[in-house]
Amino acid sequence: MALFLRVRQWLRCQTPFAELIMTDTSLILYGTPLSGHAHRAELMLRLLGLAYRYEDGSAPVRRTPAFLALNPLGQIPILVDGDLVLPDSNAILVYLARRYDPSGAWYPDDMVIAARIQRWLSMAAGEVRYGPAKARVIQLFKAEGDLAAAQAIATQLLVFMDGYLADRAFLAHHAPTIADVACYSYIAHAPEGGIPLDAYAHVRGWLGRVESLPGFVPMPRSPVPD
- Give contact residues for ligand GSH (rule: CB under 6 A): 35, 37, 74-77, 88-90
Measured between alpha carbons, how far apart are the two ends of the chain, in Å? 47
Query: Nearer Cβ to ligand GSH, position 89 or 177?
Result: 89
Query: Nearer Cβ to ligand GSH, position 59 or 159?
Result: 59
Query: Nearer Cβ to ligand GSH, position 205 or 218?
Result: 218
CA 158, chain centre distance (Å): 18
Query: Nearer Cβ to ligand GSH, position 32 or 202?
Result: 32
**Amino acid residing at 79:** L
d(CA 214, CA 171): 18
Query: Least distance (Å) from ligand GSH to the CB of residue 56?
Result: 12
Query: Least distance (Å) from ligand GSH to the CB of residue 137?
Result: 7
d(CA 185, CA 35): 9
Query: Least distance (Å) from ligand GSH to the CB of residue 174?
Result: 26
Query: Least distance (Å) from ligand GSH to the CB of residue 122?
Result: 12
Determine how many CB atoms are found less than 10 A away from the CB of residue 70: 21
Answer for the pair 117, 170: CB distance below 8 angstroms, yes or no.
no
